[in-house]
Amino acid sequence: MVKLNRRIAALKPSATMAVEGRAIEMKAAGIDVISLAAGEPDFDTPERIKEAARRALAAGKTKYTPVGGLRELREAIALKLKRDNGLDYEANEIVASAGGKQAAANVIASLFDEGDEVILPTPAWVSFPAMVRLAGAEPVELRCPQERGFLLDPSELARAINARTRGIVLNSPANPTGAVYGAAELAAIARVLRDAPQVWVFSDDVYEHITYAGPAPHILRLEPQLRSRTIVLNSVSKTYAMTGWRLGFAAGPREVIAAATRLQGQNSGNPASVSQFAAIEAYSGPQDEIGVMVEEFRKRRNLVVERIRALAGFELPNVPQGAFYAFPDVSKLLGLSHNGRRIADANSLSEFLLEEANVATVAGNDFGAPDHLRLSYATSIENLEKAFARIGKALKKLG
Ligand SMILES: Cc1ncc(COP(=O)(O)O)c(C=O)c1O
């Protein structure tokens, strides 16, 4: 057996990607699988952005760029941060990376060490705990129960912070719950963090524009004092239907951004040059297509909430207010069986639904919620209708 690096050996494949992979295999085998597993908009990248990429290709913009991204891109991101978030950043306080994922991983690796603790309000996106562990630090899950709308309780946060706490990751709108912090709720959390000067705050804004009850407030607008220890994470992936282009960024204090850029320079280099030109257009051009996508997501969200609530054993007390996920509680189904196979947790329910309904979902297990299932509605109304009809039929087989 090959002796792998200790931290890599302990690394699990990304759960969301694993389910997608299995669904793709089944589709390749001719099975009509409907995927409610995808973490990406089903829309095509807007034409104006593709055109900018074609122009870049035609002009031969296919060489290495500065490691942290073209200055022109970082300036476009700075203007975006001002326009959309009311935040002031200079180009040298921004690093562009291969997706928000790489930007987050590089900053986490740059900031944290063995012995450090990073608080993850849970359910949390599957990659954060892995990134923290890879840095040698320890993720500390802080449960945000469904009864509180999956939102963090400021007094619990205050109690959880200790001398080893060095960071916290906030993600609103959230993957996988669709929860969005209101201004008062976020301000209360910001006040707790203001009084914990050793704690770095990650504001993961990748779903910022996909909201159904008004814009999501930004922690730095509510508590500007946190700026000297806040990292803003974002990417073109979800906002502009550009997941495959792999272009995201981190913005924060110069020293940390410089460290993350050095790391990137050693382990990967600049994000793809053509994607950078596409992202410049995404951030700088007309923004109308976002609203069109969000309105479509809203229709689907409304449908999905209704269909989930009609499923026996599924509960969805909170209407998701952002992103494109619903995160129903499936605990009522646990313990039931089909053909001698027991539904022990969301993982086995997800497998059951894939086999019996040919619908791909993501179990809540890896998000820290083994009694919930993540259903993505980044697929057509027609597919959603079909998927819920199939799920309803399959659930009848459980007893
Ligand atoms: C909460 C959250 N943060 C960050 C990302 C990173 O996305 P990307 O690397 O495509 O920018 C994702 C993608 O699924 C996400 O769900």
14 and 161 in a single domain? The answer is no
Calculate how far, in angstroms, residue 176's C-alpha sits from the geometric centre of ligand 1.
11
| Mean pLDDT of the residues in the chain | 96
At position 270, the amino acid (one-letter code) is N
Work out the pLDDT band at 303, boundaries 50, 70, 90: very high
Calculate how far, in angstroms, residue 177's C-alpha sits from the geometric centre of ligand 1.
14
pLDDT for residue 13 is more than 90:
no
67 and 11 in a single domain? The answer is no
pLDDT in tens, 104-161: 999 999 999 999 999 999 999 989 999 999 999 999 999 999 999 999 999 999 999 9
Share of the chain above pLDDT 70, in %: 99
Cα separation of 175 and 208, whole Å? 11
27 and 75 in a single domain? The answer is no
Ligand 1 pocket, mutate which of 238, 246, 249, 283 (most atoms under 8 A from CB): 238
Calculate how far, in angstroms, residue 396's C-alpha sits from the geometric centre of ligand 1.
35
98 secondary structure, DSSP code? S
Residue where one domain finishes, among candidates 257, 284, 311: 284
248 and 345 in a single domain? The answer is no
Phi first, then psi: give them for residue 18, nearest 5 degrees.
-65, -45
**Mean of pLDDT values over 327-352:** 94
pLDDT in tens, 259-276: 999 999 999 999 999 999
Calculate how far, in angstroms, residue 393's C-alpha sits from the geometric centre of ligand 1.
33
- Residue 369 in domain: yes
CB 177 within 8 A of CB 123: yes
| Number of the ligand 1 atom closest to the C-alpha atom of 39 | 14
| Number of the ligand 1 atom closest to the C-alpha atom of 40 | 14
13 and 102 in a single domain? The answer is no
Work out the pLDDT band at 15, boundaries 50, 70, 90: low
259 and 383 in a single domain? The answer is no
pLDDT reported for residue 366:
85
In the chain, alpha helices (H): 6-9, 15-28, 47-58, 71-85, 99-111, 127-134, 154-160, 183-194, 219-222, 236-239, 254-267, 273-284, 288-309, 346-356, 381-395
CB 163 within 8 A of CB 197: no
| DSSP class per residue in 116-141 | -EEEEEES--THHHHHHHHTT-EEEE
pLDDT in tens, 185-242: 999 999 999 999 999 999 999 999 999 999 999 999 999 999 999 999 999 999 999 9
**Kind of pairing, strands 200-204 and 165-171?**
parallel
**Mean of pLDDT values over 351-368:** 93
Calculate how far, in angstroms, residue 233's C-alpha sits from the geometric centre of ligand 1.
9
List, chain by chain if needed, residues with CB within 6 Å of any ligand 1 atom: 39, 99-101, 125, 171, 175, 204, 206, 235, 237, 243, 248
**Mean of pLDDT values over 386-396:** 97
77 and 22 in a single domain? The answer is no
Calculate how far, in angstroms, residue 310's C-alpha sits from the geometric centre of ligand 1.
30
194 and 261 in a single domain? The answer is yes
Cβ neighbours around 187 below 10 Å, total: 16
273 and 129 in a single domain? The answer is yes
Work out the pLDDT band at 32, boundaries 50, 70, 90: very high
pLDDT for residue 17 is more than 80:
no
pLDDT for residue 278 is more than 80:
yes
pLDDT for residue 51 is more than 70:
yes
Q: Which residues of 235-245 are buried (b: 16+ CB within 10 A; e: fewer)?
A: bbbbbbbbbeb
119 and 244 in a single domain? The answer is yes
| Number of the ligand 1 atom closest to the C-alpha atom of 102 | 9
Ligand 1 pocket, mutate which of 125, 170, 209, 232 (most atoms under 8 A from CB): 125
| DSSP class per residue in 148-200 | GTTPPPHHHHHHH--TTEEEEEEESSPTTT-----HHHHHHHHHHHHT-TT-E
Cα separation of 124 and 111, whole Å? 20
SS3 assignment, position 215: coil
Give the total number of structural domains in the chain.
2
| Sign of CA pseudo-dihedral 271, 220, 172, 148 | positive
Residue where one domain finishes, among candidates 227, 256, 284: 284
Could you tell me the residue range of the domain that residue 10 belongs to? 6-44+289-395
**Mean of pLDDT values over 343-352:** 93
18 and 53 in a single domain? The answer is no
CB 357 within 8 A of CB 332: no
Ligand 1 pocket, mutate which of 208, 237, 240, 276 (most atoms under 8 A from CB): 237
| Number of the ligand 1 atom closest to the C-alpha atom of 100 | 11
pLDDT for residue 14 is more than 80:
no
116 and 249 in a single domain? The answer is yes
Give me the residue label for tokens 């209708």.
385
pLDDT in tens, 163-185: 999 999 999 999 999 999 999 99
Task: Calculate ∠ Cα 31-36-40, nearest 5°.
Answer: 115
Residue where one domain finishes, among candidates 284, 306, 334: 284
pLDDT reported for residue 19:
74
- Residue 1 in domain: no
Task: Supply the CATH number for residue 260's domain.
Answer: 3.40.640.10
Task: Supply the CATH number for residue 24's domain.
Answer: 3.90.1150.10
